[in-house]
Amino acid sequence: MTAPPVTPVTGQAPFLADPIEHLMPHGSISTLSGASGVGKTAFLASMVRTWQTGGELFGLKTTMPPAIGMLACDRPWRDHQAWFDRAGCDPFPHYSLRDEAYAWELLRDSKAVPKVFGGLIDSLKLPPGALLIVDPISLFIPGRLFDYKDVAIGLGLLDAQVKARQLTVLGVFHVAKQKGNKNDRYMRPQDRILGSSALIGYSETAFYLISPEEAERRTYEFGIISHQLKSTAYQYTRNDKGLFIPAEIYDDVAEEETALRLLPADGGALTTAQWAIEIQRTMGCSMSTAERLMRKLRRAERVVRMGKGKYRVAIPQ
């Protein structure tokens, strides 16, 4: 993330360098969405560490912003701090509503919420040009998150508070639950975001994180939906610490061939459970991904059922 090269009062400096300089311009609100428990805080921790050290993020060199601050609204700070410590982040200003005996009733007055948001920002004493993380930012959007107009107006009111303080915001949102019926699933990952139509339309850039189970693949998917540039998605896995690392990319053909090669070459059979475990172990994928690959190979008649729950490689005719 690049800090403004001159006085931040101009409000023109981007936070990410070329070629994606329009992802998080100074003075804007961007969002990061994902299901509860998918790992948004862990991913954020790695991003913060990158910004603090000037490492590479999405293939781009970054530099440290003037300051980083965070409003934590849903959980005690210790839960967030554990991930930031694990990622090796330096301490930064934060305010946790759960730890400060916060007067939650203040948030009932929808007309006052944007000013309440501004007051909380001021408590962090961030300089112009700083990055503010708000988790979740949806708490400060008056009205209903499934209503397009409420979300649009809410983001507009928060945007005014952000611009008045010359900050850039990354706000965390939760996604809607994935529909269970396979014939009635969301076509795109961004459609799962609660209030997605207005959220994507009225924020600068929408980032999303989905799990291997949701994506029906072996990796987590981190997507970038920008108004200025082509949408992009990156694949990640998690290391022993639970932190996200770039994944080795398997395309559909490579996945199927890898799964097929795990069956005995001499024509012997494996049980369904044994085969699934071998796929998981070899590819580092979830059980749902292993089962998906097995179903695809069965439908393509590339494997043959040998008795109850046993399969072997099909002999080409």
Question: For the segment 160-173, what is each residue's pLDDT rounded down to a tens digit?
Answer: 999 999 999 999 98
Question: Are 34 and 208 a contacting pair, CB within 8 Å?
Answer: yes
Residue 34 above 90 pLDDT? Answer: no
Q: pLDDT at position 232, please?
A: 83
Map tokens 């961007």 to a residue.
30
E runs forming strands in the chain: 29-34, 56-57, 60-61, 68-72, 94-96, 131-135, 168-174, 205-210, 220-226, 232-238, 244-246, 270-271, 303-305, 310-313
pLDDT tens, residue by residue, 198-213 = 677 777 888 999 888 7
Helices (H), the chain: 40-53, 77-86, 113-124, 148-164, 196-202, 212-215, 252-261, 272-283, 287-299
74/14: higher pLDDT: 74
Are residue 240 and residue 271 in the same domain, yes or no?
Answer: no
pLDDT tens, residue by residue, 265-293 = 888 889 999 999 988 888 777 777 788 88
Q: For the chain, what is the mean pLDDT?
A: 81
Burial class of residue 93, CB neighbours in 10 A (0-12, 13-18, 19+): middle
Burial class of residue 229, CB neighbours in 10 A (0-12, 13-18, 19+): middle
Q: How far apart are CA 27 and CA 79, in angstroms?
A: 28
Backbone phi and psi for residue 262, each to the nearest 5 degrees, phi listed first:
-80, -15
Residue 174 above 60 pLDDT? Answer: yes
* Share of residues in the chain with pLDDT > 70 (%): 81
Q: For the ranges 4-8, 132-136, 192-196, which has the lowest average pLDDT?
A: 4-8
What is the CB-side half-sphere exposure of residue 110 using CA atoms within 13 A? 10
- What is the SS3 assignment for 155? helix
What integer is the mean pLDDT of 236-252?
82
What integer is the mean pLDDT of 214-241?
82
193/112: higher pLDDT: 112
pLDDT tens, residue by residue, 300-309 = 889 998 877 8
- What the block records as the tokens of 154 is 């809410």
Domain contains 271: yes
Confidence of residue 193 (pLDDT cuts 50, 70, 90): low
- What the block records as the tokens of 102 is 């916060």
Are residue 65 and residue 113 in the same domain, yes or no?
Answer: yes
CATH of the domain at 200: 3.40.50.300
Tell me the residue type at 240.
D
Long-range contacts of 5-13 (CB under 8 A, 24+ apart): 8/66, 8/127, 8/128, 8/129, 8/166, 9/128, 9/166, 11/163, 11/166, 13/129
How far is Cα of residue 274 from the mean position of the Cα atoms in its chain?
A: 33
Confidence of residue 62 (pLDDT cuts 50, 70, 90): confident
Are residue 282 and residue 185 in the same domain, yes or no?
Answer: no
Q: 220, 246, 272 — which closes off a domain?
A: 246
Map tokens 């936070």 to a residue.
15
Are residue 62 and residue 142 in the same domain, yes or no?
Answer: yes
Are residue 178 and residue 263 in the same domain, yes or no?
Answer: no
Question: Are 2 and 13 a contacting pair, CB within 8 Å?
Answer: yes
90/183: higher pLDDT: 90
Confidence of residue 263 (pLDDT cuts 50, 70, 90): very high
Q: How far apart are CA 180 and CA 265, in angstroms?
A: 37
What integer is the mean pLDDT of 91-116?
92
The tally of domains found in the chain comes to 2
Q: How far apart are CA 167 and CA 144, in angstroms?
A: 26
Question: Are 25 and 10 a contacting pair, CB within 8 Å?
Answer: no
Are residue 100 and residue 40 in the same domain, yes or no?
Answer: yes
Residue 6 above 50 pLDDT? Answer: no
CATH of the domain at 269: 1.10.10
Domain that holds residue 219: 8-246
Per-residue DSSP letter, 1? -
6-20, 114-128, 183-197, 283-297: range with highest mean pLDDT: 114-128
Q: How far apart are CA 45 and CA 61, in angstroms?
A: 17
Domain contains 2: no
Are residue 208 and residue 256 in the same domain, yes or no?
Answer: no
Is pTM beyond 0.85 here? no
